[in-house]
Amino acid sequence: MTDTYVICARKRNGDVFTSEPGPVRFLKVPSTVKTFYDSSHVVANPKIWAGEVQALADGDENPNSIAPTGDVLVFIHGYNNSMEDILGRTRQLSKDLRAEGWRGQVVAFDWPSANQTLNYLEDRWDGSQVAISLVSKAIRLLSEGQKADCRTNVHLLAHSAGAYVAMEAFLQAEKDGPLRNTPWRIGQVAFISGDVSMNSLSVKSDWSGPMFARIMRLTNYYNPFDAALAVSTAKRLGVSPRAGRRGLPEDAPDKAVAVNCGPYFKGLQPDASFAHVSWTHSWYIGNRVFARDLAMTLEGAIDRDFIPTRERIGGELCLADHPRPVFQSQWDIKSTAQMTERHIR
């Protein structure tokens, strides 16, 4: 197992990171570290950190990806995640994606979510503060790299309240003059158990507009059996159904696609290792069928309506356990992407 790269937005107290928001730091955590990271893992120069991540991504190009070089996936967790959870889930996600043929580099964005559900509304406020940090450091670093002719594809995967952090970050970036006037972009964005309202993903939403303007595609994976999001909806007196439980609104932008995971999920046996978190809310990471679908989504080579791990049921795209196309490795996707890139530059 290789090092785990983390963008950390926790406040530091001496050598220890706390549960309060703080300045963004860039970490490189050895595979031997299992429970928590500390100041000894900070890479002092963010550009060196970014260069290492880019080199790892570009040095192991995925032949099935339309990215001309490599891919980086930034994983933004939700509430109730300890540092041990973040390390474990980031590493599991990377392992599953690689097993399903995706060869990119997974990076964790760690924001300080509380460890009790009762602190959930406080987490929301923290999420807004953290989004500003995500803009001021991480997105700015990405923007500088793309100005320097970096062709590595960068994607986002946001779980639960991480979807809130991601959308708020795009909004804050649009308020930042230099960033607003720079043509930076994100490739694929995926929400799992997204704890944002369905209506916030409408084409009329001022909140999601900045996100859709900067990305290639949003894939909203949702599970109608998500008990944690049922609680989230109840807190709002049922007036704001959550995108991670109900899907997209009818007037979602063309860049958005919803994948209903309910028909697949209801046949899954709960995993005992999820005892300290909601199985219905957090099952995606560690599930190989989801990882296969996400891998093909990130690669971008197959139309969203025809990704093999999806079936049409009652007019909806639904997650299904099917393999990749048998001869996909012989389609010369990468060489086609590189040749096309040379023609349009």
pLDDT at 254: 97
pLDDT at 67: 83
pLDDT at 19: 85
Q: How far apart are CA 75 and CA 7, in angstroms?
A: 10
Q: How far apart are CA 39 and CA 159, in angstroms?
A: 26
pLDDT at 274: 83
pLDDT at 284: 98
Among all chains, which residue has been given the structure tokens 């300080």? 112
Nearest-5° Cα angle at 221, 219 to 301: 40
- Contact 260/319 with Cβ under 8 angstroms? yes
- pLDDT at residue 249 tops 90: yes
pLDDT at 144: 72
pLDDT at 140: 73
Reported confidence tier of residue 132, pLDDT bands at 50, 70, 90: confident
221-234 residue pLDDT tens:
999 999 999 987 77
What are the tokens at 264?
């697949």
pLDDT at 123: 47
Secondary structure letter of residue 270 according to DSSP: P
Q: How far apart are CA 339 and CA 65, in angstroms?
A: 13
- Contact 158/190 with Cβ under 8 angstroms? yes
Q: Which amino acid type is present at position 49?
A: W
Per the model's pLDDT, the better-predicted residue between 161 and 259 turns out to be: 259
Contacts of 231 (CB under 8 A, 6+ apart): 117
pTM given for the model: 0.92
Element (H, E) at 217: strand 215-222
Smallest CA-to-CA distance from 307 within 317, 316, 315, 223 is with 317
- pLDDT at residue 61 tops 80: no
Q: Are strands 153-159 and 71-76 parallel, antiparallel or unpaired?
A: parallel
Residue 138 to residues 50, 144, 173, Cα–Cα distance (Å): 10, 10, 11
Residue 29, helix vs strand vs coil: strand
Average pLDDT of the residues in 122-150: 67
- pLDDT at residue 220 tops 90: yes
Residue 256 to residues 27, 73, 203, 306, Cα–Cα distance (Å): 32, 18, 10, 15
What are the tokens at 259?
């994948």
Percent of the chain past pLDDT 70, that is, above it, reads 90
Reported confidence tier of residue 20, pLDDT bands at 50, 70, 90: confident
- Contact 293/308 with Cβ under 8 angstroms? no
Q: How far apart are CA 119 and CA 65, in angstroms?
A: 40
- pLDDT at residue 122 tops 50: no
- pLDDT at residue 117 tops 60: no
Q: How far apart are CA 208 and CA 211, in angstroms?
A: 5
pLDDT at 3: 96
What are the b/e assignments for 265-294, b being 16+ CB within 10 Å? beeeeeeeeeeebbbbbbbbbbbebbbbbb
pLDDT at 290: 98
User: H helices of the chain, where?
Assistant: 46-58, 83-99, 120-133, 140-147, 162-175, 177-180, 209-214, 227-235, 243-246, 262-265, 279-282, 288-299, 333-344
Look over the chain and give the mean of its residue pLDDT values, rounded to a whole number: 88
- pLDDT at residue 120 tops 50: no
The CATH number given to 4-344 is 3.40.50.1820
138-175 residue pLDDT tens:
777 766 776 666 677 889 999 998 998 899 889 888 88
Average pLDDT of the residues in 76-105: 94
